[in-house]
Each structure stands twice: as structure tokens, then as C-alpha cells.
Amino acid sequence: MEKVYLTKLAPNCGCTAKVGPGTLAGVLCGLPKFYDPNLLVGTETSDDAAVYKISDELAMIQTLDFFTPVADDPYDFGQIAAANALSDVYAMGGEPKTALNIVAFPKDMDTAILGEILKGGADKVLEAGAVLAGGHTIQDDTPKYGLSVTGFVHPDRFWKNFGAQTGDKLILTKPLGTGIVNTAIKAELVSEKAREAALKSMKTLNKAARDVLKKYTVHACTDVTGFGLGGHGTEMAAGSNKTLVIQTKELPVLPDVEEYASMGLIPGGAYRNREFAAKAGFVSTAELWREDLVFDPQTSGGLLAAVPAEEAEKILQELKEVSLSGAVIGEVVDREEHVLIIR
């Protein structure tokens, strides 16, 4: 297999390649509206996936996610892309069941690389307990890979990205900084410690975090991906008609992120995410690098959950027991002038 540095083949890596939330909202608002009494979650709330009721006991979760290489090793890239796509089902409290590959691949590139990408994705689907059932491929100058995933959940017991209540604590189940670390990788300034920590985090399924949270009360939940903590937090706050207060000194952070952010190694997506939050209304008194971290686009990030304050410590203890770096990063308060307060 020829040696190719996959991250050099795309201007933006992973979820940093996503269209900004503000731009996306402007496009989607012009589409026709669809009405079906069994469509429990559609596009209206910018949630992680669609939920369609099949019976009184069963609902289908449907989602799709793919992106450009976020790792030079093709097997790692496949694992990360699959973990990221599967995450939307976990963010709804569901169980992935089937997955289909989505592939774009250069016609002149060694097909052994494609084989490794697909193997990485297949192994991650297998780890999730789902079934890989086919897919679709096209030729493209820039490699891209992801999955369309279908999962199941009870129609009365799935999580939405809104519904947070005053007094809730905000729990985040993975460290932040993958966008900044990947920018440092492209600049060839990254440390091996930061690279390995980011890869481990991005390859980790949100299955264990979902399993812990399902034992408790979850008022709202989303996964933190391309729109960053700030973008997804803004959607949660606006949908819940509340204000989210983020305590940046409590954020779990990947190694060396402060150094890279202070050097200006901030992905372009972070600025798009900040603009989106600014339109909804946010205020910050945090150090600049910590504020940048809040808007850093994550690839295969953790779950952000709003839970009752009295259950937060028990949840953190269980997350620790399954080797997840969960943290209480803020709280939900009554709606104020700004939907997001960063401290």
C-alpha cells in the first residue's frame, strides 16, 4: 500500500469541513415543509437525527454523516468517521442497527487505502453491535467517508436537543480540542502526545456514555461535533428557551491545546460557529483561548447532556468507572438576554 498523508488531501479535516450552522439554517429555511404525524423529530429543531414512529413500542432513528480525512492512517480515518456517524444515534438515546457506507475516492489512488478505510469503519460498526449492509461509492479528487445509520428507540423515551430545565447541570463526556489539534497536525506542529490523545478520543464510541446516561434523567442531549460546544449549546439553549452558562475552567481539554490555540492554530469552522452563536446572543468573559475552545469544531466529540443537579455526581462517577473523562461544565438558568454565557 502506497504511503499517502490523507490529511494533506483536503483543506479542511473531518467535521471542520461542515457548512457553518448559520449558512445551513439559511438554506434549509427555503425547503418545503413535510408533515407526518409519525415524524417525531424532523429538521425544525436542528436535532442530531430524524425519529420516525413505527409502532407504540418502536421508533426508527435515521442519520447520515461523512467527511474528509481527519487522520493520515486510513484505518484510523475509517474508525473515526464511523464513530462520528454512529454518535447521532447515541445522542438520541438509541441503539444503532444498520449502516451503509458512503465513499468518495480518487480514481488514481491505491485501492488498498480504500480497503483500510472501509475496514476501519466496519470494525467500528461491529463494535457498536450494528450491521454493515452495503453502501455507495463515487470517484472524487478528495477522499471522503462516512455512514448512513439507522437505529431503534422507544418513541416515548428518546432524547432531544432541547428540553433543558432551569437548575440542570451540563455534563460533557469527552475532552475538547480535536479541531485545534487537527489544525496543528496539518501545520506539522503537533506533539505525539496530543495526536494520540485526539485519535483515541475521536475513535471512542459514545455507546458507553449513552449507557450511563440512560440510567438517569436526561432532559436534553446532543453530541458535540462540527458546530462546537458553543454552536450545539446555542441550539440547546434556544430550543429550550433557557440560557446555558459554560464554565470554561471546568472543560476537559486535550493535551497541548492551550499552546496551539495561543499560537493561533484555530480552524476556520470555529469562527463560523462563533458568528452563529453571536446572532443568537452570547457573552464571554473567558480567556481568548478558552473561548476559542468553546467554538472549536469537534470531530466525533462527546455527548452534552442537561441533567438534574442531584444526579450529576453519580453520573460523573459512573463515567469515570468506564474510563470516560466526563465533567460538569456549566448549568442551565432561566432565559436571560444572552442564550449562551461563557465564563
Kindly report the length of the chain.
343
The answer to whether 13 is a known catalytic residue is: no
Q: Are the CB atoms for 246 and 330 separated by under 8 Å?
A: yes
Which residue out of 13, 15, 29, 221 is catalytically annotated? 15
Q: Are the CB atoms for 57 and 156 separated by under 8 Å?
A: no
| Residues identified as active-site | 15
